[in-house]
């Protein structure tokens, strides 16, 4: 006999809707944000403009982060590739600057 707590439940895919800015401006899109400093930490799904790139700064919950990588994933559906996920890999701004400094020291040696 299976108890109610043991029965698997299935959740529908969560739909994140970002508010549109004024016409003529960039539209915001949902990004999955991961802080990649070990151990990696999920910062949730956030709305940002579509023109983000590496080195840009973002603020999440009062903390400043610098974007280390932007990843767009696509999935093949009905013979066409459709966007399935946008992901931002971020580092705290202090850690990002420290990494740049250490890489510069390594290149000089």
**Contact (Cβ atoms closer than 8 angstroms) between residue 29 and residue 50:** yes
- Residue 79 exposure: Cα atoms within 13 Å on the Cβ side: 0
pLDDT at 35 over 70: yes
pLDDT at 64 over 70: yes
**pLDDT for residue 4:** 46
Q: What does the alpha-carbon distance between residue 76 and residue 37 come to, in Å, rounded to a whole number?
A: 31
- What is the percent of the chain where pLDDT is above 90? 56
Prediction pTM value? 0.71
Indicate the pLDDT class of residue 26, thresholds 50, 70 and 90. low
């Amino acid at each position: 006999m299976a108890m109610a707590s043991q029965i698997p439940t299935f959740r529908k895919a969560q739909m994140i809707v970002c508010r549109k800015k004024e016409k003529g401006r960039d539209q915001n899109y949902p990004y999955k944000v991961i802080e990649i400093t070990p151990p990696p930490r999920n910062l949730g799904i956030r709305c940002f403009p579509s023109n983000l790139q590496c080195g840009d700064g973002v603020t999440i919950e009062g903390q400043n982060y610098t974007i280390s990588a932007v990843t767009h994933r696509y999935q093949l559906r009905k013979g066409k590739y459709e966007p399935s996920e946008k992901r931002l890999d971020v580092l705290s701004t202090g850690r990002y600057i420290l990494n740049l400094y250490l890489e510069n020291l390594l290149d000089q040696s």
